Structures are given as structure tokens and as C-alpha cells.
Chain A
Amino acid sequence: MRIARALMDQILGHARSGYPFEVCGVLLGRNGEGARRVDRVVAAVNRERDSPRVRYEIAPEDLVRIQREGRDEGREILGYYHSHPDHPARPSETDRRIAAEGLSDGVVHVVVGVERGERAAPSAWIFRDRVRAFEPEPLDIE
């Protein structure tokens, strides 16, 4: 996955500013030849009510709106991002289980670990139905 430094800074800034709660958002781009390239990042509201420190949810109505705005601009949803406050920057079993139940094959997820609201570290993953798991996705920050 390729992404400009300014867009990655937008994701990391969102993760830090939202600490100690999880934040989430959508990655948009033109899914053309070769590597996926994210060229727009849209922050979403974490709609999780009970445990927003360790859970996130993007409301479907927000997702439909973001998808429509992206299509109007010629963009597709390439994936999503969310943060793990004081947890590692890798998918949890909760992330894997929900992705396996849903429509996630080939979808990129950026997971940002945030230590004490300061240091934010991203990693990228791609979900594969054939193994029902996330596989590491090279993250190329341009």
C-alpha cells in the first residue's frame, strides 16, 4: 500500500488526538494497476458506545456517505484504519473475527498503535478470505 507522508501524518494525528479512545477512518484511492495507492483519508466517528477504548465501529450510514462522496470523485474505498491505544499495532482477534464474518477479502487495514497518547506507529494488513486472516501488507510512505 502506498500513501503520501502528509496523509499518514493525518492518520497518526487522528490516532494521537483521539487517545485514550480508538479512532477510525476510511482509506480511498484509485484501485488501478499495481500497488494500491491511498490518495484520500476520511476520518470517521467511532460509534462504539460501550467500550470505545478497546473497540471501534464505523456507522454504516457514515460508510455509505463516504463511499458516495468517493465515487463522485472517482475514488474507491481501498480500506480502513483504526487505532489501538496502548496496544500493539497489529490486528486483534476481534479485528480478525469480524473481518472473517464480513465482506473483507482484499481489503487493507491500517492499525495504529498509540503509546500513552504520544508515540503512534502504523502497520498495514490485508485480509484474505482463503486463510480467514490478515496478512502483512508492505507500507510504502512516500
Chain B
Amino acid sequence: MAVKVQIPAPLRSLTGGQAEVEVDAADVGGLIEGLDRRHRGLKERLCDADGNLRSYVRVFVNDEDVRFLKEKATPLKTGDTVAIVPAIAGGACAQMS
């Protein structure tokens, strides 16, 4: 299943600057493994030591958040678009001295 993966700018040092890469995978977990085989180090940035998606990483398949699908078992089909986006949050509390 060839799917297009949109890579956020902070990870492009691992993809040789490519903003979009194509990977063959049957599900999101396989996609992450496939990405890591081609672009070593990506899995570590996306997943924790237990292999779960990091809390500040969001993966979308065709605009659907995989947290609300089957997480890493979310199936993929040819032509799907996968977007990796950071969780953006913060705020003035705990202001630095």
C-alpha cells in the first residue's frame, strides 16, 4: 500500500529535506517501521521506548487522528495521505525567572 507521508519541518533533517515521502505499509505501525528503515532515527522521534506514539506527536490518516481510530493498528490503503504534526501548546504559567 503506497501512502504519502507529510513530514513536519523539524524532522526533515532525517529525510534529507523531503517534505513528503512515500512508504509502502499496511498500517500506521508498519508505516513508522518503513519510515525508520529509510530514514534512520524517525521512529525514535515519533515513538517512546515502549513503541507507543509520543504524547506530543499526532498522526492523521486522511484528516482523521489515529488516536480515535486504531492508533498504530489503523489500516492504510493505497492513496492515503498521512500527516505527522506536533502538539502545539504552552502558556504563561510557570514563567521562567
Shortest distance in angstroms between A112's beta carbon and chain B's nearest beta carbon? 11
- Determine if B9 and A60 form an interchain contact, defined as CB atoms under 8 angstroms apart: no
- Determine if B89 and A103 form an interchain contact, defined as CB atoms under 8 angstroms apart: no
Question: Which chain A residue lies CB-closest to B13?
Answer: A105
Shortest distance in angstroms between B35's beta carbon and chain A's nearest beta carbon? 14
- Determine if A85 and B92 form an interchain contact, defined as CB atoms under 8 angstroms apart: yes
- Determine if A64 and B83 form an interchain contact, defined as CB atoms under 8 angstroms apart: yes
- Determine if B89 and A58 form an interchain contact, defined as CB atoms under 8 angstroms apart: yes
- Determine if A94 and B94 form an interchain contact, defined as CB atoms under 8 angstroms apart: yes
CB-CB under 8 A from B10, the residues of chain A are 103-107, 129
Report the separation of the CA atoms of residues A68 and B89 in the bound assembly, to the nearest whole angstrom: 20
Report the separation of the CA atoms of residues A122 and B55 in the bound assembly, to the nearest whole angstrom: 29
- Determine if A103 and B45 form an interchain contact, defined as CB atoms under 8 angstroms apart: yes
Interface size class, chain A? 35 or more
Tell yes or no: A101 within 8 A of B by CB.
Answer: yes
CB-CB under 8 A from A102, the residues of chain B are 56-57, 86-88
Complex interface residues of chain A between 43 and 60 (CB less than 8 A to chain B): 48, 51, 54-58, 60
Tell yes or no: A115 within 8 A of B by CB.
Answer: no
Q: Pick the contact of B63 from A64, A71, A84, A129 — CB < 8 Å?
A: A64
Report the separation of the CA atoms of residues A48 and B91 in the bound assembly, to the nearest whole angstrom: 10
- Determine if A101 and B54 form an interchain contact, defined as CB atoms under 8 angstroms apart: yes
Question: Which chain B residue lies CB-closest to A31?
Answer: B9
Q: Pick the contact of A60 from B19, B58, B93 — CB < 8 Å?
A: B58
Shortest distance in angstroms between B69's beta carbon and chain A's nearest beta carbon? 13
Tell yes or no: A96 within 8 A of B by CB.
Answer: yes
User: What are the 10 closest A-B residue pairs judged by CB atoms, nearest first?
Assistant: A55-B91, A87-B92, A95-B90, A102-B56, A54-B93, A60-B58, A84-B92, A103-B86, A57-B89, A58-B88
